[in-house]
Structure 1
């Protein structure tokens, strides 16, 4: 059969819909030269689908992974057929393409996830055109079906739309228009464009389906005319009514309650007109549009639009365990009741018998259970107490609607009839949002999401009004109420969301001093004063669960919640509740910037009795978001306590709070200049080291440090004081903190305790607070460490060796917090050093005092009993230090020049011919490659330290978990007396 013969056969063919459906499809397969449906289970007609699903066929033809096809009689409206395919797409394994046909035309509707459903229409008379035959052939192969996917994704369309609206918003704000008025108007415009593309704007038939676009086109540059017509259209949408010759649908919902069109310029109209004409607003993805649009409206969020947003899959890592999995498990208990009734009914029918009372009662009980489940979904509430533009609420609502739809299809397949519509929707979600236009945007996100879901799943859209009230999304503070007390949250089954990320030190600057003080006072004793803002949401979610106002919660936090003051809220959660699903370290986007976050869900008991961390099933999740394979396992490093024997040894370096640093050449020039007080500038000008001076090459930076001397005494050091007056004072005199403002010539925190402990040492151990590798290095005690550095006030090789052992590194990684996009571990004196159980006899309390020289080694002043182990560790540590130094500064490549101040270490200067190569010789690069000699040196050191612990069974193959378990046991044993 040729295409021409096909057209002649089926043009005005008298066969009925049912009589002609298969013959029409068989002839189509012939002209396309593809196999007709024959294979049961993969590519079949309706009757085989009935066998597969045990109910209606839902489609005339179906091919797995390719398409579902529904035929209608000649001249029949194809809309209902398409709605039927959409409604049952889930039962058909969600084919990527839906096809409806009435012989006169074939409509192809792509349904690829993340892409718009831009239909292709092939008329019968045009079926023989080569491009149309090719399109139809693509339908029949899983290898070519992707060719029907639209070129531009929903995300790309959404990004473009958000970018265009950002231009309008910026232009209006630059003209002095109130930001809230701009936001409200543009949100109304967005919905208008979406509604007209979705065919919702007009009520009944209309010659002009794109009314909003026509206003913008006809007005051209007449801004006042456009303003009046837009105002009239919005007014019609407010109540439903006439606009010109068109009847406008009733939208309500609060979106058009206030109509306040700002003054428009021709550029505004041009941008809005382009957005309306050139974009398919049905394809807008609410999961990212809200975020992108909000950034465009917010002058503070200057991230490039479209560059970053959190993907759906990441948000679903909270939605699934909180909503989908528990409710799916409930349905999994009910569905077998329906299956049993159907099986018993079919058996009786096959035997020609009537239904027994037992079966009828079982049917009644199963139906009751089914309806109760639907009622449960209808009344299920999800609260996002920091809802922003509504992404979490949108996905939570979709999850509930998907669950209800799946249950209804299951029930229908099992002979329990079909319920009228899907009742879960916008009423299921509750939100709190302090930003007014973000709250309004969240409502629009949910409304559009609800309509999109209905269109995609073949469900009717709500009418009269189209937009139901969304009073559940409230514009208010989630932490402090209007009266200055603790804000109350509405009850909900689930709490979910992404609370604001704001570090403790930024809270006053961002929130204001009065608000921050009130907040900390209200939650004093429950949320630590040094905790990040996000911790208050974790605390309140815990309170809601304990009060019976919620069943479970899942929130996003920066991954610093795993340690420090922030972890106190997780400590409280694990004390009273259970963390049942968490992701400890995930990529996230916050205000356009990449950050690292933790996703944490918790409840009284794990909903399905299972606990998951980072996608792996575990026994228990600890407060630091580590896990144990067995719930009874005691390896919980959050239980580690600070040990008194480690106190007064490790210190964070000075906090400068001003440009006190100078280059080495300037410092050396000053060191030879006399002062009126007869004192050398070396009193207050000293070498300086930050983290990069340890991990990379030394920067030859020095620092002016007047410690806490008076302004009068400081002025006697003329050159350094002049520098501070010129460069530091202007940055300090207007600061809020008294010390910083009044003592402008001093470091913000000069760390006097650190200096006292370093004073009598010739060298000390420095380590960067944040670093990919836990590296320790020797520095002269004359060096002033920066606040990005931890200084260990010890000069003996034994302590250095213990700190650089595998055991201390594992402990520091287990007790640390993480920082930055690189997610590098952060070392702190309190949580990592002061909790570490040193080997017996070699603790900081034991090594205090002047070290003892033993050849080229410095040993701590320990007892005779522990001297051999101290010597073994010192020897291994000194060898590691020597090998590293030889690699970092080969004698053939450098010159060592005595420093101008006696007792200071020599300066290392690269020979010109080796300067480029020497730049690459850094500790970071060394530990990135970890050559064999370095690895062997560390293994020898680890062996010596293991012997000091008495671990005769230690080998390099000993697991990290076993090492940490032994160290934790030591910590708990030593901390008991102090705790008691």
Structure 2
């Protein structure tokens, strides 16, 4: 979120002349953080936080590395005050507080403030002597109103704890990956190639998980300082293996059962939890392995700074052979996880907690009871991730619940509330790992998830301001654990892991595997889950988790679910196939994120396009998070109903149709030769062929595929299907080509292809209309505002990478090239990666055309011709260049805008409105609030329509049109 200068001015006006340290500091800083800086983690900001010396930190923004010493209005920021028996200036107070913290918690930025003046000190500039000389910069409240960027460092991602945790996690994952490769080399053959069976791989995976756990504990203060490092440093490389075996056994042995005379292990705690229970093989260490472990992995890296949410995914992708083969280090960022958990439950929980404080007229006892009720609710929630992987959704959810619990406990620490806290302590009720359940098919991922959740608990216990009590008071031994089951989630009854009656939320990121990329076993699993569904063979693998969740929720309609998925499940033909059996179970979509780019790799490699869908059997308020572009921030839109296409529109399914819904010419696919390339020629190849056989010239035709049409390339096709046999006798080179085609088809594994080997002169798919046609590429870049289309004459053969409309005219071309039709394509058409995939059955045949007057039809014909005329003025430019968003000529943009205007008018938009230009110039990224104007039983686009609005309008037209059929 950008810093809001207008909000800064309003903030300055609100607080001018106000400011009492004890009574208004919290309101002042929360107002500044939320409304001016757009700081999103305000629940983690600590106020009046006690320190060991007896003082209190006024404001501690730990995630941003900022600490504030706040004074009342008018207090001199240079004047010493008595604090803990010593005279201290505000700067000395905040420096003392900072130095009382562990090194990894100390803030970088120190701020002193008296409501009217701010002083900022950067601890990276130097120590006490340097900072005491002068602040890095100083400004007044009035100056802040004009320059809110003065406090921009608070929201600068470079200074955030989350960014530092990400960097450390990526670094740590890479180092562990290198160590793992050294372990593998210990089992190499005479050529140095690793020979690892499943048992050895299991042992190495367990070893790496244990090492990571020890490294974290060492740097987080859970082991004696540098204890793990010193324990191994003393050993020769050949003894490291033996030392690790002894250490792991000790960590699984209660202190009173250990060898009392073994001094080297005396200071290591009893960990328990099962992590160190089994004895597994450890390879012998070489000097290089010892050096890497101690001098690159243990020594320089602060393992206490890793994020269990991020590191679990990186760790698994680094060591899991199934993911290592894909390359890169994969992780799911906390930001993306929050796109799921915030609207699913976290936003509501935060609002519920805030309501206790903000509800007027509550007595202290009533507030205490409400806080207790809320705390009991937190402790009763149960979460299931049925594709838990390395546990990142569960770890982030656990950490967020601990933060909320800490806020409640903080409220219950004073007066009568302290008695309530004591009662809760007596019952031992706390947010616990036992509330979290997962199903994961990969054994190693299960081990990583278990370790990540334990580290999450230990990390939460050590976070600034975290209140510990009862089962969270002692870090070790580990007495609680999550419930991660190693099993196939599609063949397992989820009730065996967590009965639906006990579950509150289902969440996660099930695997993305398209219908055409599934192996035989996955297809069988999908058929088993969708056993009664229509066209289930054309459904993505991830859909299985949706239907399983819907069936699970039948046993407890109070359960809510949210999954991350590829956007293909809400686009194209499979939407109806997948969602129809799900909605038949009474499932409603509660919230959704439209398509955005899922950047989940540390190596910044390929990204996928995803959506998020939250659903339940309840009729809850709907929220639609619209991403204008795949990389854009979401705009929240309240919706009346969210259908399976993630549109605020009627609950209808766009089924594949064989004929158009309206009275328009038929669209068909182009020609598919299946010829092994023998009938296709580049210009020079055709010229060479005709030099040898000039009488074949009448049988060559321009060949137009999507590539040739968009890039302006030329190819030709040899069409012999209608050549009389007597003529073929005079064409030996043509017969030779036919022979090659026949051999190629006979060698195919496809029976239909083998069959057409009997007629080698003909194509597998033939569409040769003999009239001029509209040409539509089947795939077009998602970067373009318009799909390039045009006419081809009767002599041109279109390939199967295109669709053609024989006899289509300028009117049809104008509507198809309009923003209205492109909006329909983007929503109901399929995608190939991120690109648009046009389909006759799902896009063209289902599109509702406008009911036009003769004048409107003529206007659209004129604007369509105008587009063609402008394009003809650039004979040297290919359509790829003309329709590149960064290169599109202004006159071509204007021609398309005139066409949009004409089509919009045909759909009911008045051309005389002052705001019409907004509809015409709005790109597909424009996501304005929705405004639909009912006109009787129909709907009409308003003058300020955006693409979101256009699609909603079209869905209403589609629902009305299909209701008649």
* TM-score normalised by the chain length of structure 2: 0.71
Q: Give distance in 2, aligned partners of 1:476 and 1:835.
A: 42
1:154 aligns with 2:165: yes
Partner residue of 1:238 out of 247, 252, 276: 252
- Equivalent in the alignment of 2:709: 694
Once the two structures are superposed, the pairs formed by residues 629-778 of structure 1 within 5 Å of their partners are 642=657, 643-645=660-662, 649-653=666-670, 660=677, 662-671=681-690, 673-674=692-693, 680=696, 687-696=702-711, 698-702=712-716, 717=734, 720=737, 738-739=751-752, 752=765, 755-756=766-767, 758-771=768-781, 772=784, 773-778=786-791
| 1:936 Cα offset (Å) | 4.7
Q: Work out whether residues 386 and 498 of structure 1, in 8 Å CA contact, stay in contact via their aligned partners in 2.
A: yes
Q: Offset of 1:867 from its aligned partner?
A: 7.7
144-153 vs 966-975, which moves further: 144-153
Q: Does 1:197 find its partner at 2:219? A: yes
Separation in 1 of the partners of 2:532 and 2:905? 44
Match of 2:269 among 244, 249, 252: 249
Greater mean deviation of Cα atoms: 658-667 or 186-195: 658-667
> Which residue is 1:187 aligned to?
209
What's the CA shift string for 1:617-643, capped at 9, x where partnerless? 313242245444xxxxx5677568854
Separation in structure 1 between the aligned mates of residue 674 and residue 181 of structure 2, nearest angstrom: 35
Match of 2:446 in 1: 439
> The residue matched to 1:554 in structure 2 has which SS?
strand
SS in 2 for 1:623: coil
Aligned match of 2:105: 117
After TM superposition, give the deviation of residue 814 of structure 1 in Å.
4.1
Q: 1:947/1:444 Cα in 2 relative to 1: closer, same or farther (>3 Å)? A: closer
Partner of 1:239, secondary structure, is: coil
Report the counterpart of residue 454 of structure 1 in structure 2: 461
1:562 positional shift:
1.9
3-state SS of the aligned residue for 2:346? helix
- Measure how far apart 1:561 and its partner are: 2.2
1:388/1:442 contact within 8 Å kept: yes
Deviation at 1:415, TM superposition (A): 3.9
Cα offsets for 1:472-530 (capped at 9, x unmatched): 11111111139xx999764320111111111110012xxxx144224314322348321
Provide the rounded CA distance (Å) in 2 between the counterparts of 1:745 and 1:118: 79
* C-alpha distance in 2 between matches for 1:963 and 1:282: 51
Q: Secondary structure of the equivalent of 1:596?
A: strand
Q: Deviations over 1:269-301 (max 9, x none)?
A: 332222011111101111211121222113454
**Residues 123-169 of structure 1, C-alpha deviations (whole Å, 9 max, x = no match):** xxxx9x98332356789988799899799922222111100111122
Moved more, 212-221 or 150-159: 150-159
Contact 2:529 2:547 in 1 (8 A): no
Question: Is the CA contact (8 Å cut-off) linking 1:587 and 1:597 kept in structure 2?
Answer: yes
* Cα separation, 2, equivalents of 1:609 and 1:833: 30
Using the TM superposition, give the Cα deviation of residue 720 of structure 1 relative to its aligned residue in structure 2, in angstroms.
Answer: 3.7
| Counterpart for residue 269 of structure 1 | 290
- CA 1:487 to 1:563, structure 2 compared with 1: closer, same or farther past 3 Å? farther
Alignment match, 1:290? 312
1:278 match: secondary structure: coil
Look up the SS of the partner of 1:261 in the other structure. coil
Partners of 2:592 and 2:646 within 8 A in 1: no
* 1:432, distance to aligned residue in structure 2 (A): 1.0
Distance 1:790 1:254 in 2: 61
Q: Is residue 871 of structure 2 the alignment partner of residue 881 of structure 1?
A: no
The answer for the alignment partner of 1:837 in structure 2 is 848
Q: Give the 3 Å change call, closer, same or farther, for CA 741–806 of structure 1 in structure 2.
A: same
Task: From the superposition, tell whether residues 567 and 414 of structure 1 become closer, same or farther in structure 2 (CA, over 3 Å).
Answer: farther
State how far apart, in whole Å, the 1-side matches of 2:130 and 2:292 are.
38
Give unpaired runs (5+ residues) of structure 2: 1-15, 30-43, 70-82, 87-91, 109-122, 139-149, 185-192, 627-633, 918-942
Q: What is the rounded CA distance, in whole Å, between the counterparts of 1:796 and 1:622 in structure 2?
A: 36
Shift of 1:695: 2.9
1:157-168 pair list within 5 angstroms? 157-168=168-179
Taking a change above 3 Å as real, the CA distance of residues 336 and 790 of structure 1, as seen in their structure-2 partners, is: same
Q: What secondary structure does 1:219 align onto?
A: coil
User: Cα distance 1:688–1:622, how it changes in 2: closer, same or farther (>3 A)?
Assistant: farther
492, 496, 503: which is aligned to 2:514?
503
Question: In the superposition, relative to structure 1, how do residues 725 and 462 fare at CA in structure 2: closer, same or farther (>3 Å)?
Answer: farther
Q: Where does 1:51-90 land on structure 2 (aligned, <5 Å)?
A: none
CA contact (8 A) 2:47 2:60 kept: no
Please point out which of 306, 331, 344 is paired with 2:353. 331
Equivalent pair of 1:694/1:768 in contact (CA under 8 Å): no
Residue in 1 that maps onto 2:387:
386
Q: How does 1:550-629 map to 2 (within 5 A)?
A: 551-568=559-576, 569-570=578-579, 576-589=586-599, 593-605=606-618, 614-628=634-648
| Change in CA separation of 1:584 and 1:340 when aligned onto 2, cut-off 3 Å | same
Superposed CA deviations along residues 733-781 of structure 1, whole A, max 9, x for unmatched, are 686x54468878999x9663xx34x332244423343332222122345
Change (3 A) 1:704 1:496: farther
CA distance in 1 between counterparts of 2:443 and 2:299 reads: 29
Q: 1:723 to 1:451 in 2, by over 3 A?
A: farther
Going from structure 1 to structure 2, the CA distance change for 1:50 and 1:330 (only over 3 Å counts) comes to closer
Deviations 1:195-251 (Å, cap 9, x if unpaired)? 12223236xxxxxx43432343233432xx111110111111122344731333222
* Residue matched to 1:108: 98
In structure 2, how many angstroms separate the alpha carbons of the residues matched to 1:974 and 1:946? 19
Alignment of 1:421-440 (within 5 A): 423-440=430-447
Q: Secondary structure at the match of 1:580?
A: strand
| 1:787-818 deviation per Cα after TM superposition (whole angstroms, max 9, x unaligned) | 54333233533332332344433433343344
Taking a change above 3 Å as real, the CA distance of residues 525 and 260 of structure 1, as seen in their structure-2 partners, is: same
Q: Assess if the C-alpha contact under 8 Å between 2:312 and 2:448 holds in 1.
A: yes
TM-superposed deviation, 1:599: 1.4
The 8 Å contact of residues 568 and 831 in structure 2, kept in 1 or not, is answered as yes
SS at match of 1:593: coil
Q: CA deviation at 1:834?
A: 0.4
Residues 1:219 and 2:232 aligned together: no
Contact in 2 for aligned 1:382/1:494 (Cα 8 Å): yes
2:571 and 2:830 in contact (8 A); partners too: yes
Residue 330 of structure 1 deviates from its aligned partner by 3.7
Q: In the aligned structure 1, how far is the partner of 2:902 from the partner of 2:106?
A: 70
* Equivalent of 1:476 in 450, 464, 487: 487
The change in CA–CA distance for 1:717 and 1:232 in structure 2 (over 3 A counts) is: farther
Secondary structure, counterpart of 1:234 in structure 2: helix
Check if 1:96 corresponds to 2:66: yes
Give the drift of 1:829.
1.3
1:687–1:703 contact (8 Å) kept in structure 2 = yes
* Uncovered stretches (5+) of structure 1, i.e. residues with no partner: 1-38, 54-63, 74-80, 121-126, 203-208, 343-362, 629-633, 842-865, 890-917
For residues 783 and 235 of structure 1, do their structure 2 counterparts lie closer, same or farther at Cα, with a shift above 3 Å needed?
farther
Compared with structure 1, are the counterparts of its residues 750 and 690 closer, same or farther at alpha carbon in structure 2 (3 Å cutoff)?
A: same
Alignment of 1:856-935 (within 5 A): 873-889=860-876, 918=877, 922-925=881-884, 930-935=888-893
8 Å CA contact 1:162, 1:305 repeated in 2: no
Question: Which residue does 1:846 correspond to in 2?
Answer: none
Higher mean C-alpha displacement, 331-340 vs 875-884: 331-340
Contact 2:656–2:841, Cα closer than 8 Å, also in 1: no
Q: Which residue of 2 aligns with 1:899?
A: none
On the 8 A contact 1:159/1:292 being kept in 2, the answer is: yes
Aligned residues: 801
